Amino acid sequence: MTGGPEADYGPRGVNGPIDQLLFPLTHGALFYPGMDVLPIHPVYGAAHIATAEEVETVKAAWRCRLAGLFTDAPIPFRAQNGGDFPDRHTMADDVAPGKTGLLAHIAHEMAA
């Protein structure tokens, strides 16, 4: 859950993309030791949900998420030993050309 609206967590939002903010957890604390990690399920502006209708919308989205818990594709992080890092330290030049930083560590862009 986040306190701010979705715009705060967009590519140019004040906080930056939420998947990048949580990268140390999703990649470092979960994927690196061997877990498959599903895309995050943010509830933007949770502190400002005020109506029963808004609560029902959040609950419906959560039910959808839970329905796909065992079938949704995990985030396709690049494995250190999977060939994208031939020296086990630096990404190969032909992998994710033109991308740097955290986004280069995901094998393909995921649908939002």
Rounded to whole angstroms, the Cα distance separating 106 from 109 reads 7
Q: Find the domain containing 54 and state its range.
A: 6-105
Q: What is the pLDDT of residue 109?
A: 57
Give how many domains the chain has, as a whole number: 1
Backbone angles phi, psi at 44, to 5 degrees: -75, 145
- Scored b (16 or more CB within 10 A) or e, 3-26 reads ebeeeebeeeeeeeebbeebbeeb
Domain assignment present for residue 88? The answer is yes
Domain assignment present for residue 110? The answer is no
pLDDT at residue 1 above 80? no
Domain assignment present for residue 76? The answer is yes
Q: What average pLDDT does the structure give for the chain?
A: 91
Any idea what the CATH number is for the domain that residue 19 is in?
3.40.50.360
Domain assignment present for residue 18? The answer is yes
Rounded to whole angstroms, the Cα distance separating 62 from 46 reads 13
Average pLDDT over residues 82-87: 89
> Between 43 and 2, whose confidence is greater?
43
Domain assignment present for residue 22? The answer is yes
Say if pTM beats, i.e. exceeds, 0.85: no
Q: What is the pLDDT of residue 111?
A: 44
User: Are 22 and 40 a contacting pair, CB within 8 Å?
Assistant: yes
Domain assignment present for residue 1? The answer is no
Three-state secondary structure call for residue 60: helix
Domain assignment present for residue 112? The answer is no
pLDDT tens for residues 39-65?
A: 999 999 999 999 999 999 999 999 999
